[in-house]
Amino acid sequence: MLTWGVVVALAIGVYCQRLVGAIALDPARLGARAQAVVNHIPIAILSAVIALQTLSSNGELTGDARIFGIGTAVLLASRKAPMFVTVVAAAAVTAIVRTLA
């Protein structure tokens, strides 16, 4: 299970990575495609952490109600729903699926 210490360490690592990239790389020298890749690195790391927390339990691959909650959150976020609505709906769907299972 991921602890808050690991989450904070990852956040600091991503921030430092962005900072070093901003200092060391001259954006004018990078092409548009390279800039797009650099800009998407933090979201890729965050997505990996979310996938790890959603799809694993005790080091094993699992499929449970969390998948439906994340799916709901993704759907609502893609439709630009407010954050509060997205979180409450995802929690509600997860709770309903756990109750029915």
**pLDDT tens digits, 84-97:** 999 999 999 999 99
> Are both 52 and 17 inside the same structural domain?
yes
- My answer on whether 43 and 3 are in the same domain is yes
Work out how many domains the chain is built from and give that number. 2
Instruction: Give the whole-number percent of the chain exceeding pLDDT 90.
Output: 36
Residue 43 in this model has a pLDDT that exceeds 90: no
The tokens describing 48, both together, are 């990996």
10-37: per-residue pLDDT in tens? 889 988 888 887 777 676 777 888 888 8
| Sequence-separated (6 or more) residues with CB below 8 Å from residue 91 | 69
Residue 18's identity, in one-letter code, is R
Task: Supply the range of the domain harboring residue 84.
Answer: 63-101
Positions of E strands within the chain? 56-57, 60-61
- Do 3 and 25 share a domain, yes or no? yes
Sign of the dihedral defined by the CA atoms of residues 76, 81, 86, 92, in that order? negative
Tell whether 57 and 78 lie within a shared domain: no
Whole-model pTM?
A: 0.57
In this structure, are 73 and 51 located in the same domain? no
Q: Looking at the structure, do residues 80 and 54 belong to the same domain, yes or no?
A: no
